[in-house]
Amino acid sequence: MTHIAVIGAGITGVTTAYALRKRGFEVTVIDRLRYPAMDTSFANGGQLSACNAEVWNNISTIMKGMRWMLRKDAPLLFNPSPSWHKYSWMAEFVGQIPNYEKNTIETARMAIAAREHLFQWAKDENIDFDLVERGILHVYQSKEGFESGLKVSKLLAQAGLERDTVSPEEIPNIEPTLKGNYYGGFFTPSDSTGDIHKYTRGLAKACEKHGVNFIFDAEIHHITQQHGKQIIHYQSTQDPQEQGSLTTDKLVVCAGVGSRHIAKLLGDRMNVYPVKG
């Protein structure tokens, strides 16, 4: 049986491990932390949303980012101090602006498919993750913001997502705690919220039940190759003297912000595949 190692036990790694195991592969998940979903998948906003699939590669994002640099209460701040990584990333970001519409439609299509799998697996494995199926509401105070939201709704519709336009009068009917002056909003009834940390922990337990192995507290520092196999070398995060290795036929990198480091370790052995289906 082909053995596949999955690097990273966040939501991406654990769902990947589950899907691979269901397809009959022998799977080992390896992570530097002690439990699944302890990094970015630990405390995110909890939105299970296809309605937020609009990609950020847009001139207006850059203008917004520049305006925010002058505000103390900016929701996101860009630090302009020079770094090759940062500026090469920005060049890639700008390079994707011409693909804004295509990438938004494709991301929304993937988000809808991901949501279906997520719900189905929660049902199959009886995972409680505080799911609240009440839709997601976006509200706008300005005509300008609302009109750019209308354009996004059209792209989301092309991906198959229903997002309703709502009037200022309808907003408090959907969310009674909202009492401000709004120009309008959008409501996506099929979206929901849930605790993705709990979900990942639950799915990791299901993975174990189905025969997936997990190696925790293991920081990967080196990946070599021998006779067509990949050998992952790791060091215990608890005891630096403790080293280990895992031999695998293939590996999938789901290491979140650590993926760039793993890509460097793999060099030209790393392939990036476009996601289809």
Q: Applying CB under 6 A, which of residues 149, 194, 202, 258 lies at the interface with ligand FAD?
A: 258
- 10 and 29 in contact (C-beta within 8 Å)? no
Quick check: 255 binds ligand FAD (CB under 6 A)?
Answer: yes
Q: Applying CB under 6 A, which of residues 4, 5, 6, 11 lies at the interface with ligand FAD?
A: 11
Query: What are the distances in angstroms from CA 122 to CA 94, 128, 186, 199?
Result: 38, 7, 27, 8
Q: Which is nearer to ligand FAD, 155 or 203 (CB)?
A: 203
What gap in Å lies between CA 131 and CA 123, rounded to an integer? Answer: 11
DSSP string over 128-192:
----B-S-EEEEESSHHHHHHHHHHHHHHHHTT---EEE-TTTHHHH-TT--S--SEEEEETT-E
Query: What are the distances in angstroms from CA 169 to CA 38, 86, 147, 165, 214?
Result: 41, 44, 18, 12, 51
Quick check: 106 binds ligand FAD (CB under 6 A)?
Answer: no
Q: Name residues whose C-beta falls within 8 Å of residue 259's C-beta, 6 or more positions apart in sequence.
A: 8, 253
Quick check: 207 binds ligand FAD (CB under 6 A)?
Answer: no
Quick check: 12 binds ligand FAD (CB under 6 A)?
Answer: yes
Q: Which is nearer to ligand FAD, 171 or 262 (CB)?
A: 262
Q: Applying CB under 6 A, which of residues 4, 5, 13, 159 lies at the interface with ligand FAD?
A: 13
- Contact map string, positions 211 to 250, toward ligand FAD, x by CB under 6 A: --------xx------------------------------
Q: Which is nearer to ligand FAD, 47 or 236 (CB)?
A: 47
Quick check: 45 binds ligand FAD (CB under 6 A)?
Answer: yes
Neighbours of 207 (CB within 10 A): 26
Quick check: 55 binds ligand FAD (CB under 6 A)?
Answer: no
Q: How far is the CB of 222 from ligand FAD (least distance, A)?
A: 10
Quick check: 148 binds ligand FAD (CB under 6 A)?
Answer: no
Q: How far is the CB of 204 from ligand FAD (least distance, A)?
A: 11
Q: Applying CB under 6 A, which of residues 25, 26, 40, 148 lies at the interface with ligand FAD?
A: 40
> Which is nearest to 111 in space by CA: 55, 70, 164?
55
What gap in Å lies between CA 127 and CA 184, rounded to an integer? Answer: 36
Helix orientation angle between 100-125 and 196-209, rounded to the nearest 10 degrees: 60
Q: Which is nearer to ligand FAD, 143 or 222 (CB)?
A: 222
Q: Provide the token pair at 225.
A: 């190759």
Quick check: 46 binds ligand FAD (CB under 6 A)?
Answer: yes
Q: Which is nearer to ligand FAD, 185 or 258 (CB)?
A: 258
Quick check: 8 binds ligand FAD (CB under 6 A)?
Answer: yes
Quick check: 131 binds ligand FAD (CB under 6 A)?
Answer: no
What gap in Å lies between CA 114 and CA 194, rounded to an integer? Answer: 14
Residues that bind ligand FAD (CB under 6 A): 7-13, 31-33, 38-41, 44-47, 219-220, 254-256, 258, 261-262
